[in-house]
Amino acid sequence: MVSSVPIKTEPMIVNIGPQHPSTHGVFRMRVTLDGERIINAEMVVGYLHRSMEKLAEERTWTQNIPFTDRMDYLAAMTGNLSYCHAVERLAGVEVPERAQYLRVIFAELQRIASHAMANGTFVNDCGAWQTPLLYMFREREKILDLFEMTCGARLTLNYMRIGGVAFDLPDEFMPQLRTLLDELPARMDEYDDLLIDNEILLMRSRDIGILSPELAMNASVSGPMLRGSGIAWDLRKADPYGVYDRMEFDIPVGYNGDCFDRFMVRMAEVRQSVRIIEQAVEQLPPGPYCADVPLNLRPPAGEVYSRIESPKGELGFYLVSDGGPTPFRFHVRSPSLMNLSALKEMVVGQTVSDAIVTLGSIDINVGEVDR
C-alpha cells in the first residue's frame, strides 16, 4: 500500500543584494522563494542615499551642478543638462545657439555610452562571461576619451553650466568624433549579429519580465522601458527642449514589453543617437558657448519642473526658488527609481535567473535611485 507522507516545505527568503554582482550597485531585492520560483519580492533601496536633495539647499545654484554628476554617474551629461535646463527656465536665461548644439552632441554621446553599458551588463546578467560588456566598453571608452579632451573628466563631467557649457570644443575633437561616427554603425551591425541573433540570449530574455503597456503607463515608467512596451513616447519629440525640434530621428519601439524588447530598443537607440549627432555636427554654428550668467545667480521667486529624456527615461528637476542664492527646494524625479516601481509585478512568478535578467533590462543606476 502506498501511503503519501506530505513533505514539509517552507519558502526560503533570500536577500539578493545589496552586495551582489548583478544588482548594479547596492540595490537589494528581498525575495521569497519556493524552490527557484519567486513568490514574493520586496525592493529595498537607500543603501546609497547621500541626501543630495537636502545638501543642494545649502549650496548656490551653480555649486549644485556637480551633484547631478553623481546621481546617474553613467550619464552625467544628461544629469547636468536637465538641471541646467531647469535653472535656465527658472531664471529666464537665454542659451546661445552653439551651446545648444554642443549640449545635444554631448547628451547623445552620453546616451550611446550609457546604452553601451546597459546592454553590456544586461548580456552579462544573462550569463555571458564579460565578453559583450568589454566589447561595449570599447565604444564607451572612445566616448569617454572625447569627454576627457573637452572637459578633463571622464565620469563625473561637470561640463554643462547655467547658460551654456563650460568649455568650447578643442581642435582635435572633431576628427576623433568623425572617426567614431564612421565606425559606430558598422560596430552596431556586428553587435546585432552577435547578440540579437543569439538563440540563447533570445531564450533567456524573450517573454521574460513582460511589462504591459497599461502597467507601464500606470507605474509612470519612462525611457527605453516604456518604449520596449510598445509606446512611442520620447520627450525629445513629445516636449522638445534645446534644439531637438530641429533634429530628425525615429523612436524605436518594442512589441511585447519583455526584456529582449528593452534590449533591442536600446540597441536601436544608439543608431538614432548617431543620426542626431551627425545632424548636430552639420548644423553646429560658431559663436559664444556660454551666456553671461552671474556666478551668484538669484533666480526670481517661483517654481519650475523641467524634464529631459535621459538614457534611462524622464529625468526631471523640480526647483523652487525664494529669490535667494540657493534653491529652496531641489527635487529630482529620477527615472531609475520610477522604473524600479514596476519590478515587483515583473518578477513575481519568475525564477531567480529571470529576475536577475529582468533587473538588468531595467538598467537602474543606484546612484540615481537613492540620490
Partner 1 sequence: MALLARWYDVRDLGNAVAGLMDALRDAGASEGLLYVVAGLLGALGILGFVGFTSVINIWVERRLIGRIQVRKGPNRAGPWGLLQPIADAIKLIQKEALTPKLADSAVFTLAPIVIFVPAILAFAVLPWGEGMVLADLNVGVLYILALGSTSAIMVFMAGYASNNKYALMGSMRVIAMLISYEIPTVLALLGVVAFAGTMSLSGIVAFQETHWSWLIFFQPLAFLIFLFGASAELNRSPADIAEAESEIIAGYHIEYSGMKFGLFYAVELVNVMAVSAIIATLFLGGWWTFGLNEFVPGWMLFIGKVYAVYFIFIWFRGTLPRFRIDQLMAFAWKFLLPLSLVNVLLVAVEVFIWTEYEISAGIVLPIFAVVNFVLAGVLIAGWARVMTRNYERFPRRARLVSEIDVPLPAQSGSAARAEA
| Interacting residues toward partner 1 by CB under 8 A | 12, 14, 20-22, 36, 123-131, 134-135, 138, 192, 196-204, 206-207, 213-214, 217-218, 220, 230-234, 237-238, 250-256, 260-261, 264-265, 267-268, 351-354, 356
Task: Give min distance, CB of 298 to partner 1, in A.
Answer: 30
Closer to partner 1 by Cβ: residue 131 or 341:
131
3-state secondary structure of 3: coil
Closer to partner 1 by Cβ: residue 251 or 320:
251
Determine the residue type at 263. Answer: F
Distances (CA, A) of 169 to 84, 198, 209: 19, 40, 42
Task: Give min distance, CB of 193 to partner 1, in A.
Answer: 11
Closer to partner 1 by Cβ: residue 79 or 257:
257
3-state secondary structure of 24: coil
Determine the residue type at 105. Answer: I
Closer to partner 1 by Cβ: residue 56 or 364:
364
Determine the residue type at 197. Answer: D
Give the residue from 188, 194, 209, 195 showing the smallest Cα distance to 268. 188
Per DSSP, what are the bridge partners of residue 313? Answer: 310
Residues 6+ apart with CB under 8 A from 321: 90, 298, 299, 300, 301, 302, 303, 327, 328
The position carrying cell 520596449 is 228
Task: Give min distance, CB of 212 to partner 1, in A.
Answer: 10
3-state secondary structure of 329: strand
- In this structure, the dihedral spanned by the alpha carbons of residues 167, 170, 175 and 178, taken in order and rounded to 10 degrees, is 0
3-state secondary structure of 331: strand
Task: Give min distance, CB of 230 to partner 1, in A.
Answer: 8
C-alpha–C-alpha distance, residues 191 and 263, integer Å:
12
Task: Give min distance, CB of 282 to partner 1, in A.
Answer: 19
CA angle 28, 30, 31 (to 5 degrees): 135
**Joined grid coordinates for residue 166:** 563650460
Closer to partner 1 by Cβ: residue 36 or 182:
36
Task: Give min distance, CB of 202 to partner 1, in A.
Answer: 5
Instruction: Give how far the C-alpha of residue 371 lies from the chain's centroid of Cα atoms, to the nearest Å.
Output: 14
Burial class (CB in 10 A: 0-12, 13-18, 19+), 125: buried
Closer to partner 1 by Cβ: residue 154 or 275:
275
Closer to partner 1 by Cβ: residue 19 or 283:
19
Closer to partner 1 by Cβ: residue 307 or 371:
307
Task: Give min distance, CB of 268 to partner 1, in A.
Answer: 4
C-alpha–C-alpha distance, residues 297 and 299, integer Å:
6
Residue 352 near residue 31 (C-beta atoms within 8 A): yes
3-state secondary structure of 342: coil
Closer to partner 1 by Cβ: residue 196 or 348:
196
Task: Give min distance, CB of 12 to partner 1, in A.
Answer: 6
Task: Give min distance, CB of 62 to partner 1, in A.
Answer: 30
